[in-house]
């Protein structure tokens, strides 16, 4: 039995409330809890709000905010702090004064500043004097500042004659670097307001101005077929990604050479209205991670993954922009549960754990020669004759899968697969005829040792194991054929290294 382990990390949020529970202090406390931390709060304002908007704000008196902070600091060990909505200049001043009084010099707990200065609708919440105080007093205290694009534009435009507009990835990198120059250690500029294309990322990486980490199943090292499945399950465009930019000005936290340049965290763009409190959730997750480990890169990596999964698995609450699912990680998992944004986490994890093996399998010499049209005809004829017999064994294996299934849905799925295989065998025989192979020759072809070995493995697994073991045995064909086809099409479309479709004698098979 797993032993319960109490939270040993105290994390403080200094922010406003959200009566609907999706943002502010309530979202922070949920995120702290999900990360195994003990959450404390200082309330800067009480709001009346829901998923459709804010109906009222009641700021707390600055002296009461100071009293709350002192009460916590006098009693609870605090390992990290995050700030959210600070309402006005007076509250910013009292928060900064109390922090610097309690922690007059380094080391102090990591401080994550979420500069809540612009509403979801784009309304500016602070006057220029308040923004100046945030820039000159609060940001220099921060271990990490987490603005979104609108907030970054406001911070960098205040006091300038020409407003800054962020319209592309290069602008984001410039803005993150500029905010870091205000005196903070790290900046994570969130790109949710600016969906981009993978080519935008590739261009910047190849130019040498940054490095990229691809989250979920859309990265260059993942299987093409998993991205194909993801696009079938979501309405997101193949070319739609969200990029967060991490810029660090502190060399001591560099992991190898990765953070010598800005790091781009690239995620699948999720077409969802359940984004209320995303910034609060991300900054709270960052504070939780930094409370446990000062590794900024790893903290950012984990916090982004947590927040993205919260959007992907969000409940459908409210009539407007609903909340995230803050509790998706409460059940301990080695991998995440499947969802539309990441439909095959187990398979993706296996492939990404053994990229060289997967690459050798998909890009086998036989496949490469097919794509280039250089495969000897005798080799191809041998293959398609053996493939005809393989289909028979494949259908038998699915018959065993049906016998091991316990629901009508799974039994029906296996039965439909068998039906498709039978149809495929008929088409396969017709295809073989185009290569001069008669039906009699096809039927009487002796199975090769390789075919007999793999077929015996599938049937033996089906007889001895459970449904999961048999599915694993079948997966190399189930995924492999699709992946090979997509990979060949991609290489032919790129027109590189001699791959082509038009005029290729093996085009019909591909």
**Among the listed ranges 57-71, 216-230, 264-278, which one has the minimum average pLDDT value?**
216-230
DSSP class of residue 342 equals: B
Alpha carbon of 75 to those of 69, 94, 96, 98, 240: distances in Å?
10, 20, 20, 15, 47
How far apart are the C-alpha atoms of 477 and 455, rounded to whole Å? Answer: 11
Q: How far apart are CA 315 and CA 333, in angstroms?
A: 20
Of 59-73, 235-249, 399-413, least confident by mean pLDDT is 235-249
pLDDT higher than 90, residue 6: no
* Interval 491-500: pLDDT, tens: 999 988 999 9
- Backbone phi, then psi, for 503, in 5-degree steps? 90, -10
pLDDT band at 254 (very low <50, low <70, confident <90, very high): very low
Specify the 3-state DSSP secondary structure of 267: strand
- What pLDDT sits at residue 256? 43
CA separation for the pair 52, 104 (Å, rounded): 41
Q: Name the pLDDT band for 268 (thresholds 50, 70, 90).
A: confident
For residue 358, the tally of other CB atoms under 10 A from its CB is: 19
Q: How far apart are CA 349 and CA 336, in angstroms?
A: 10
- DSSP, collapsed to helix, strand or coil, labels residue 121 as coil
Contact call for residues 193 and 150 (beta carbons, < 8 A): yes
Is the pLDDT at 303 greater than 90? The verdict is yes
Q: Please enumerate in sequence order all residues whose Cβ is within 8 A of that of 70, keeping only pairs 6 or more positions apart, or say none.
A: 98
Residue partners of 216: CB distance under 8 A and separation at least 6: 267, 268, 308, 341, 342, 348
Per the CB < 8 A criterion, the answer to whether 64 and 106 are in contact is no
Residue 454: count of CB within 10 angstroms of its CB: 17
Answer whether residue 487 shows pLDDT above 70.
yes
Report pLDDT digits (tens) over 385-394: 999 999 999 9
Query: What percent of the chain is predicted at pLDDT more than 70?
Result: 90
| pLDDT mean across residues, the chain | 88
Secondary structure tally for the chain: helices H, strands E: 18, 11
Q: What is the mean pLDDT of residues 97-105?
A: 94
Percent of the chain scored above 90 by pLDDT? 64
pLDDT for res 259: 56
- Residue 461: per-residue pLDDT: 93
314: helix, coil or strand?
A: coil
Give the span between the Cα atoms of 302 and 286, in whole angstroms. 8
On the question of a cis peptide bond just before residue 107, with omega within 30 degrees of 0, the verdict is: yes
φ, ψ at 294 (rounded to 5°): -75, 0
pLDDT tens-place string over residues 283-294: 999 999 999 999
Higher pLDDT, 155 or 332: 155
Reported confidence tier of residue 81, pLDDT bands at 50, 70, 90: very high
Identify the three-state secondary structure at position 388: helix
Averaged pLDDT, 16-22:
93
What's the pLDDT score for residue 229? 60
Query: Would you say residue 488 has pLDDT above 90?
Result: yes
- What's the pLDDT tens digit per position in 395-435? 999 999 999 999 999 999 999 999 999 999 999 999 999 99
Q: Is it the case that residue 57 has pLDDT exceeding 80? A: yes
Residue 475 has pLDDT above 60, yes or no: yes
Among residues 398, 116, 143, which one has the least CA distance to residue 278? Answer: 116
pLDDT at residue number 114: 96
Confidence of residue 250 (pLDDT cuts 50, 70, 90): low
């Amino acid at each position: 039995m797993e032993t319960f382990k109490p939270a040993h990390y105290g994390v403080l949020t200094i922010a406003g409330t959200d009566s609907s529970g999706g943002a502010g202090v309530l979202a922070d406390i949920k995120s702290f809890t999900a990360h195994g931390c003990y959450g404390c709060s200082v309330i800067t304002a009480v709001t009346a709000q829901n998923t459709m908007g804010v109906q009222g704000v009641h700021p707390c008196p600055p002296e009461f905010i100071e009293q709350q902070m002192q009460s916590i600091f006098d009693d609870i060990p605090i390992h990290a702090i995050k700030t959210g909505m600070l309402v006005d200049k007076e509250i910013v001043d009292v928060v900064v004064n109390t922090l610097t009084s309690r922690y007059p010099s380094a080391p102090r707990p990591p401080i994550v500043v979420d500069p809540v200065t612009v509403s979801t609708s784009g309304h500016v919440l602070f006057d220029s004097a308040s923004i100046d105080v945030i820039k000159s007093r609060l940001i220099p205290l921060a271990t990490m500042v987490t603005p979104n694009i609108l907030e970054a534009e406001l911070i960098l435009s205040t006091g300038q004659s020409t407003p800054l507009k962020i319209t592309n990835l290069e602008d984001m990198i410039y803005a993150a670097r500029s905010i870091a120059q205000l005196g903070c250690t790290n900046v994570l500029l969130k790109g949710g307001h600016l969906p981009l294309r993978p080519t935008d990322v590739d261009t910047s990486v190849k130019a040498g101005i940054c490095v990229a980490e691809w989250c979920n199943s859309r990265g260059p090292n993942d299987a093409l077929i998993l991205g194909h499945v993801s696009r079938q399950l979501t309405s997101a465009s193949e070319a739609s990604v969200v990029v967060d930019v991490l810029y660090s000005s502190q060399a001591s936290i560099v992991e190898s050479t990765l953070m010598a340049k800005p790091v781009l965290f690239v995620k699948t763009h999720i077409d969802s209205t359940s984004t209320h409190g995303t910034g609060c959730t991300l900054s709270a997750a960052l504070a939780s991670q930094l409370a446990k480990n000062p590794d900024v890169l790893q903290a950012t990596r984990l916090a982004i993954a947590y927040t993205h999964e919260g959007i992907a698995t969000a409940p459908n609450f409210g009539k407007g922009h609903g909340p995230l699912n803050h509790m998706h990680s409460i059940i301990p998992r080695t991998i995440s549960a499947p969802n539309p944004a990441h439909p095959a986490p187990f398979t993706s994890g296996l492939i990404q754990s053994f990229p060289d093996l997967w690459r050798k399998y998909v890009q086998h010499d036989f496949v490469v020669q097919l794509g280039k049209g250089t495969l000897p005809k005798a080799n191809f004829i041998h293959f398609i004759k053996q493939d005809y017999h393989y289909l028979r064994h494949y259908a038998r294996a699915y018959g065993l899968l049906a016998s091991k299934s316990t629901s009508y849905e799974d039994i029906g799925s296996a039965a439909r697969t068998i039906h498709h295989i039978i149809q495929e065998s008929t088409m396969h025989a017709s295809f073989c005829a185009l290569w001069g192979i008669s039906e009699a020759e096809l039927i009487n072809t002796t199975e090769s040792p390789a075919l007999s070995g793999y077929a015996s493995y599938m049937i033996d697994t089906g007889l001895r194991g459970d449904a999961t073991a048999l599915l694993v045995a079948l997966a190399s064909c189930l995924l492999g054929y699709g992946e090979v086809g997509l990979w060949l099409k991609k290489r032919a479309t790129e027109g590189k290294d001699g791959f082509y479709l038009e005029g290729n004698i093996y085009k019909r098979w591909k």
